Structure 1
Amino acid sequence: MKSKLSVLFNVPNIIGYIRFILICIAWKNITDAKIFLLFFGANCMLDMLDGIAARCLNQVSNYGAVLDVVVDIFGRGVTWCFLGKYGYVVPAWEWFVFACNHAQVRGVQWKEQFKLAPKLVKRVMSHNFKTPLGMLVMCGIFGLPIALYCDQYTTLPVIMPTVFSACLCILGIGRLLGFYVEAWCVVQHISKMLL
């Protein structure tokens, strides 16, 4: 029988620790766009691998599910906080939603609550975000802070301003739709607490 502590050293969790280190290095170099984007991009690439590794190696765990979300929110939060005076509002909201989602329903089972959700929320959440609306939300949540960072701190000669503005608009719509789903989650949590 495997020790409970061995979960700490599962391959997907080690990838999570490496992602955290990459975000810290990116954060230290946040004023140097090339270095920041290099390390933050490496973090994003590894983010795609940890879930694949968890399923392929049969190393899915509640700890790993939570670690993945914590590292994701930390990475986005670093970027949002750098973007402006009120940039902390978005990661503060995301931490609040995370706490609500995981307070009563633990780990990988938190998505079960969406079975009774409104149609729009179900469409976003169905098939683990692998729907057009789910992808739009994920692009908004993950892509908007990086796109805003690039707009503010880099020159993007390859992308015409009109195309970039359209991309920002699409990412913004995705993030707003994400806020809607997150707000539904918070309301559900509060209503359960009031019972």
Structure 2
Amino acid sequence: MPYHPKACTLLYGVSCLLDAVDGMAARALNQTSKFGAVLDMVTDRCTTSCLLCFLAAGYPRYALLFQGLISLDFASHYIHMYSSLATGSTSHKTVKSDVSRILWYYYNDNRTLFFVCFANELFYVCLYLNKFYTTPLLPTSWIDWLIHTFLGTTAAHPEKAWRLIHAFPGWTNLIVWFLRQLTWPQILAAVTGPICFLKNVINVVQFWKASKILVGLDLHERAVARSKRE
């Protein structure tokens, strides 16, 4: 992973695509099993956590954040899987809308599930590739053209642009510097970042709802045990 970004990205992408179709293939061939469901969930978590471990090392300032994402990912999926088995559900993807509407949309719509998972993994991959690809995407001439187009000026009559630059020199220099540093992994990361945030919100909701289910089961079992003693 630290030395072969192209090969790593290719293999990681193939792994994610195969993960998207293995469940459909198992259902189509009537080969679903509890072992397969658990293995699918575990391998997904291991794959993502390996990439997050690299990001924690590659971005040491945000290492604690990536460590937290690993913990949240493992914890939310484990407790969700356990609560599904404890309640006798045939699959951890069987979630009713009265339990959580966001989880219901996430697990019962294959397109939503695929899109959110794909964008989430793509965001992490873009952060990974950002450590290797540093060539700016936009040439300087394109940046000048964008500035003039945005301000409604032309290269022959840039008075409006210069007035704005003199009025806000710090902000203008910052924007120009940012555009000159912008790479294609950063652009894709900016697009997929909100979806990654949504995925982790879903993880939090999943952990919370599964915890409530397990607490409810504990309370019910204790009430049954007390009634038998009485």
TM-score range, shorter chain: 0.5 to 0.7
RMSD, aligned CA: 2.9
Aligned to 1:100: 79
Percentage identity across paired residues of the two chains: 22
1:167 deviates by 1.2
| SS of the residue 1:130 aligns to | helix
Equivalent residue number for residue 114 of structure 1: 96
TM-score (norm 1): 0.67
Runs of 4+ in 1 over 4 A off after TM superposition: 155-162
The partner residue of 1:130 within 68, 89, 111 is 111
| Alignment gaps of 5+ in structure 1 | 1-28
Q: TM-score, normalised by structure 2?
A: 0.58
Please list, as runs of the form range in 1=range in 2, the aligned pairs for 1:1-195 lying within 5 A after superposition: 29-84=1-56, 85-86=63-64, 87-106=66-85, 108-127=90-109, 129-131=110-112, 134-155=113-134, 157=137, 160=184, 163-192=187-216, 194-195=218-219
- The structure with the larger Rg is 2
Query: In the TM superposition, what is the alpha-carbon distance from 1:36 to its structure 2 partner?
Result: 1.2
Query: CA offsets per residue over residues 118-142 of structure 1, 9 Å max, x none?
Result: 3333333333x434xx455323443
Q: Using a 3 Å threshold, how does the CA distance of structure 1 residues 130 and 58 change in structure 2: closer, same or farther? A: same
For 1:110, the aligned partner's letter is H
- In structure 2, the CA distance between the partners of 1:190 and 1:51, relative to structure 1 (3 Å rule), is closer
Higher relative contact order (CA 8 A, sep 6+): 2
CA distance in 2, matches of 1:70, 1:162: 29
Deviation at 1:76, TM superposition (A): 0.4
Structure 2: 5+ residue stretches without partners: 57-62, 139-182, 220-230
Give the length in aligned residue pairs: 164
CA contact (8 A) 1:144 1:168 kept: yes
